Chains A and B, each alone.
Chain A
Amino acid sequence: MNSKTTSFRSIGSFLLQIPLWLYFIVSVYPLFWMISYSLKNNDEIFVTNPFGFPAHFRFENYVNAWTQFNIPRYFMNSFIVSIISTLCILLLALMFAFAVARMQWKFRTAVRTYMIVGMFMPLQVIMIPLAILVRDFHLTNTYGALIIPYIAIGLPFSTMVFYGFLVSIPREIEEAACIDGASIYRLFAQVILPLALPAIATIAIFQFLNNWNEFTLAYILISDENMKTLPLGLLFFQGSYSTDWGAMGAVMTIASVPMVLVYLLLSEQVERAMTVGSAVKG
């Protein structure tokens, strides 16, 4: 009797899990398919073996992708743009949040509200004047054309997360620093900064991912082949190389590996970073 109910229960829990594993396949199989066709030739992809694992690995697709196309250049551009803008966002947002959350001055609530407004601005509403600004400052087709807007766009959200974090630190810290004779700059650099490390890590991941994958602004502001970031550069393969699916698959796999690795290594932090918005905005 007892074993009977247990087996019913296990069948029940097995049936219960079916939708979860079905969606698992929906979510992962396209990626598996991409990786496997990056290791096949057209004949295998189209006719002999469209669904399964490659019969033997054609790594030459990867060699072709890496050497014949501009992939290394796109990687470098993406890396430079994402790293610099993320670092600047962290520094500027933390300084701003420190001034608003910890320092004593008259208009801090007003200034904080002014910054919050930016969180609700869709990109489309700044797109046109921004493109003209970039042109008038002669930044078109430079790293600055992306880095400067990325910093500005990253600020409202980041300052709000840092603000929430810094406000909760006890007031005694400043008193101690003041009595010890530490300057306000030392207080910021040597006390507040280390304390804020968990929030810094969250924002760093969030902004790096955002900047690395940003498409729309890059598409509008960058046309020079040598300045293209990865999401932009990959567009190029669509037309000219769509006949060689293997190489295209290899290009797409190469482009995806870094972010997937970052995610797999830091999955908890990445999920928290990506969803922290709900805590701030909601």
Chain B
Amino acid sequence: MNKYLGNKPALALFLLPALLLYSVILIYPVLQTVFRSFYDWDGLSTASFAGLTNYRELFSDPLLGTSLKNGALFALVLAVFQIGLGTILALVCANPRVRGRKLLKTAYFIPVVLSVTVVCQLWIAMYDPTNGLVNKLFDVLGIPYQQNWLVSPTQSIIAIAFVNAWQFMGYQFSLLYAGVKAVPEDYFEAATIDGCGKWRAHWHVTLPLMRETFKFCFTIAITSGIGAFVQMLIMTNGGPGTTNYTLTFMIYRYAFMESNYGYACAVSVLLVMISLVATVVINKVFDRGQHA
């Protein structure tokens, strides 16, 4: 039996294609990025070792501050909108008296399967200052709040983050809904019988039991905020000026527009480090709550 399941040629045939492709296309580039971040390299000629120069330059790069701030804002919008609002909707939706649950869930999820290009262009049209739906809506409601959403340097990053939040709300919602459903109903009922109001019962019973779900949802929201790129690229091309830059936008610009590959690699390493730290912190925060 062991000989049968230890068949060497078969093992090689089953393992090697996947391992080879994975090593060449994923692992090798990761190592290469770290390695090249210590070099002055234009992607073509021989690179020259530069030690920590790239990192030193990076920390005095004015784009870094903008990018970090935008990444944080983006993550904040995702967390508040998707997880904050998503949790409330999931709790309400789990109430047995709600009708049309299937229709609601389907409607929330449809934007998730759309192409990000379609969604961004739809929202470019929605945000259009004269013909867009958003300004027209304010007009119809009689609120004199006409904005040039994507041009304002302070608002546009929020407006863009909202597009991402809107598109992937359904995804977070279905995770949160599954999380609510996984909490045994007796727990919640026991709390309401003990005289807790519904919302207080949810606050003290349901939400703490959804710790694992929240951990995962926050990790997705925060890391996709830090790594955000496509929406800015399509909707404002990082502008006005460089006001909508993020770390990924910096990588894109330095590598593919300015051929400053070594420097762009240093930005990549920083991006991974920040995502890693964020993930660890999120885990720590939710695990600490467990022992309290």
Give me the interface of A with B, judged by CB distance under 8 Å.
9, 13, 16-17, 19-21, 23-24, 26-28, 30-31, 33-34, 37, 45-46, 50-51, 92-93, 95-96, 98-100, 102-105, 111, 114-115, 117-118, 121-133, 148-149, 151-153, 155-156, 159, 174-175, 178, 184-185, 188, 209, 212-213, 215-216, 219-220, 230-232, 234-235, 237-238, 245, 248, 252, 255-256, 259-260, 262-264, 267, 270-271, 274-275, 278, 281-282
Docked Cα-Cα span, A51 to B104, in Å, equals 22
Please give the distance in Å from B31's CB to the nearest CB on chain A: 9
Q: Find residues 44-83 in chain B having any chain A CB closer than 8 Å to their own CB.
A: none
- Name which residue of chain B comes closest to A234, CB basis: B117
Q: Find residues 238-292 in chain B having any chain A CB closer than 8 Å to their own CB.
A: 247-248, 251-252, 255-256, 261, 264-265, 268-269, 271-272, 275
Residue pairs across A and B with CB atoms within 8 Å: the count is 271
Docked Cα-Cα span, A16 to B131, in Å, equals 34
Question: With contacts A129-B36, A178-B4, A282-B212 known, what are 4 further pairs, Cβ within 8 A?
Answer: A31-B111, A105-B6, A153-B25, A256-B115
Give which listed residue, A149, A216, A275, contacts B174 with CB less than 8 A: A275
Q: Find residues 120-154 in chain B having any chain A CB closer than 8 Å to their own CB.
A: 121-126, 130-131, 133, 136, 140
Is there a chain A Cβ closer than 8 Å to B108's Cβ?
yes
Query: For residue A212, which residues in chain B have a CB less than 8 angstroms away from its CB?
Result: 115
Q: Choose among A175, A213, A232, A281 the residue with the greatest number of B CB atoms under 10 Å from its CB.
A: A213
Q: Choose among B103, B118, B131, B233 the residue with the greatest number of A CB atoms under 10 Å from its CB.
A: B118
Query: For residue A93, which residues in chain B have a CB less than 8 angstroms away from its CB?
Result: 18
On whether the beta carbons of B27 and A118 are closer than 8 Å, the reply is yes
On whether the beta carbons of A128 and B24 are closer than 8 Å, the reply is no
On whether the beta carbons of A127 and B114 are closer than 8 Å, the reply is no
Query: For residue A28, which residues in chain B have a CB less than 8 angstroms away from its CB?
Result: 107, 110
Is there a chain A Cβ closer than 8 Å to B193's Cβ?
no
Number of B interface residues in the complex (CB < 8 A): 94
On whether the beta carbons of B98 and A17 are closer than 8 Å, the reply is yes
Tell me what chain B mostly uses at the interface: helix, strand, loop, or mixed: helix
On whether the beta carbons of B25 and A152 are closer than 8 Å, the reply is yes
On whether the beta carbons of A235 and B98 are closer than 8 Å, the reply is no
Q: Find residues 13-43 in chain B having any chain A CB closer than 8 Å to their own CB.
A: 13-15, 17-19, 21-22, 24-30, 32-33, 36, 43
On whether the beta carbons of B118 and A256 are closer than 8 Å, the reply is yes
Give which listed residue, B113, B116, B247, contacts A263 with CB less than 8 A: B113
Known: A17-B92, A27-B108, A184-B5. A124 touches B251 (CB 8 A): yes
Known: A20-B89, A45-B131. A184 touches B4 (CB 8 A): yes
Please give the distance in Å from A274's CB to the nearest CB on chain B: 6
- Name which residue of chain A comes closest to B7, CB basis: A184
Please give the distance in Å from B262's CB to the nearest CB on chain A: 10
Docked Cα-Cα span, A117 to B30, in Å, equals 11
On whether the beta carbons of B29 and A17 are closer than 8 Å, the reply is no
On whether the beta carbons of B104 and A24 are closer than 8 Å, the reply is yes
Query: For residue A235, which residues in chain B have a CB less than 8 angstroms away from its CB?
Result: 117, 234
Docked Cα-Cα span, A152 to B84, in Å, equals 35
Known: A50-B133, A274-B112. A174 touches B233 (CB 8 A): no
Give me the interface of B with A, judged by CB distance under 8 Å.
1-2, 4-7, 10-11, 13-15, 17-19, 21-22, 24-30, 32-33, 36, 43, 85, 88-89, 92-93, 95, 97-99, 103-118, 121-126, 130-131, 133, 136, 140, 166, 169-171, 174-175, 178, 212-213, 215-216, 223, 227, 229-230, 233-234, 247-248, 251-252, 255-256, 261, 264-265, 268-269, 271-272, 275
On whether the beta carbons of B275 and A184 are closer than 8 Å, the reply is no
- Name which residue of chain A comes closest to B8, CB basis: A105
Q: Choose among B27, B104, B121 the residue with the greatest number of A CB atoms under 10 Å from its CB.
A: B121
Give which listed residue, B18, B92, B169, B233, contacts A95 with CB less than 8 A: B18
On whether the beta carbons of B25 and A282 are closer than 8 Å, the reply is no
Query: For residue A111, which residues in chain B have a CB less than 8 angstroms away from its CB?
Result: 15, 19
On whether the beta carbons of B118 and A95 are closer than 8 Å, the reply is no
15 A-B residue pairings within 8 Å (CB atoms) = A13-B97, A19-B89, A30-B122, A95-B13, A124-B247, A129-B29, A131-B255, A156-B22, A178-B1, A212-B115, A216-B230, A252-B118, A259-B115, A260-B113, A275-B174
